[in-house]
């Protein structure tokens, strides 16, 4: 079992809608989680507790196991070993209770592309058991706040990447979940859409709900998150509040590079031939052809 500096915590606040008030109990508890694909170990026996009522970041380099971990935590992928408790319920022993309490925006989200944005939200709300009138009311509010009202009758197949992320977020929030899981929610999103998404998520967490999102952009995590877990090679390298994980490092980026063992790696100095001008071009190399 790897060393894991796991810290847990919570914040006091009032619940949003029918959501219970946050408590000292973690929003997510992961115990001994393993996943192997053939000879490749993607997740290596991690233990982790994510605090309720906070913005939680799961960060790591590409291939660290973040998406695999989130897939197992949300019931999309069965682990080889281990246990996951979300909002007080076992993901695999009590999946219906868990899925009624979570919202998920996975990476590479597949949507019903022949539906319009409005139709998708109407379908998802009714699928979740919301009354039709309540579904339509919430859909109208979400479409408006996410700046999709003008495109609500357009087919999703014609949506841009940012619009797809926003309609996917609307669908994940529609039933007012206790915990929201987002896999790279800002990837491929323009700054205007990113700011809109960020505002909605900050409003959501301020009501006492929990957001868990994965990213490899440290500046984004540092500006958004209260609590961070750093993952590399399928293991948790550090976990705790932003200040605890950052430690004495000048930034989360610097702490992250040290934790994942990326400090001192080659940064391109050996590519002495790369660059503008003629200085690095050898004879007969095709210099001047650009």
DSSP 210: E
Most confident of 38-42, 195-199, 220-224: 38-42
Q: Environment class of residue 11 by beta-carbon count within 10 Å: exposed (0-12), middle (13-18) or buried (19+)?
A: middle
- Give me the helices (H) in 174-259, please: 191-206, 218-224, 242-246, 252-259
Share of the chain above pLDDT 70, in %: 84
List, in sequence order, the alpha helices (H) in 247-287. Answer: 252-259
Lowest mean pLDDT among 118-122, 266-270, 278-282: 278-282
Contact between 274 and 280 under an 8 Å Cβ cutoff? The reply is yes
Look up residue 150 and give its DSSP letter. Answer: G
Q: What is the pLDDT of residues 228-242, one digit of tens each?
A: 999 999 999 999 999
The pLDDT assigned to 110 comes to 84
At a CB cut-off of 8 Å and minimum separation 6, what does 11 contact? 22, 51, 52, 53, 54, 208, 226
Q: Which pairing describes strands 102-105 and 81-86: parallel, antiparallel, or unpaired? A: unpaired
pLDDT for 185 = 86
| Mean pLDDT of the region 195-216 | 90
Instruction: Write out the two tokens for 290.
Output: 């650009």
The answer to whether the CB of 122 falls within 8 A of the CB of 139 is yes
Sheet holding 81-86, edge to edge: 40-50, 28-37, 81-86, 89-90
Q: How confident is the model at residue 273 (pLDDT cuts 50, 70, 90)?
A: confident
Helix (H) or strand (E) holding 237: strand 235-241
Task: Report pLDDT digits (tens) over 242-251.
Answer: 999 999 999 8
- Taking residues 185-214, what's their average pLDDT? 88
pLDDT at 156 over 90: yes
Q: Please write the tens of the pLDDT for every residue from 97-150.
A: 999 999 999 877 788 999 999 999 999 999 999 999 999 999 999 999 999 999
């Amino acid at each position: 079992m790897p060393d894991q500096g796991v810290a847990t915590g919570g914040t006091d606040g009032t619940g949003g809608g029918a959501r219970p008030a946050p408590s000292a109990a973690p929003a997510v508890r992961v115990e001994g989680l393993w996943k192997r694909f053939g000879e490749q170990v993607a997740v290596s026996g991690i233990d982790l507790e994510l605090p309720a009522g906070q913005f939680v970041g799961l960060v790591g380099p590409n291939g660290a196991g973040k998406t695999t971990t989130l897939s197992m935590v949300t019931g999309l992928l069965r682990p080889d070993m281990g246990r996951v408790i979300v909002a007080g319920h076992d993901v695999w022993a009590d999946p219906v209770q868990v899925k009624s309490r979570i919202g998920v925006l996975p990476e590479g989200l597949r949507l019903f592309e022949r539906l319009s944005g409005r139709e998708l939200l109407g379908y998802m709300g009714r699928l979740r058991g919301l009354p039709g009138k309540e579904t339509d009311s919430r859909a109208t509010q979400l479409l408006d706040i996410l700046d999709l009202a003008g495109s609500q009758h357009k087919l999703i197949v014609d949506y841009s990447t940012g619009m797809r992320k926003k309609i996917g977020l609307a669908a994940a929030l529609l039933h007012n979940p206790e915990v929201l899981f987002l896999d790279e929610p800002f990837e491929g999103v323009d700054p205007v859409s990113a700011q809109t998404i960020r505002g909605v998520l900050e409003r959501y967490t301020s009501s006492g709900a929990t957001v868990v999102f994965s990213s490899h952009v440290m500046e984004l995590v540092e500006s958004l998150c209260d609590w961070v877990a750093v993952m590399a090679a399928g293991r948790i390298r550090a976990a705790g509040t932003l200040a605890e994980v950052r430690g004495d490092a000048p930034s989360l980026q610097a702490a992250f590079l040290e934790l994942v063992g990326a400090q001192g790696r080659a940064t391109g100095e050996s590519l002495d031939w790369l660059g503008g001008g003629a200085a690095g071009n050898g004879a007969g190399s095709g210099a001047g052809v650009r």
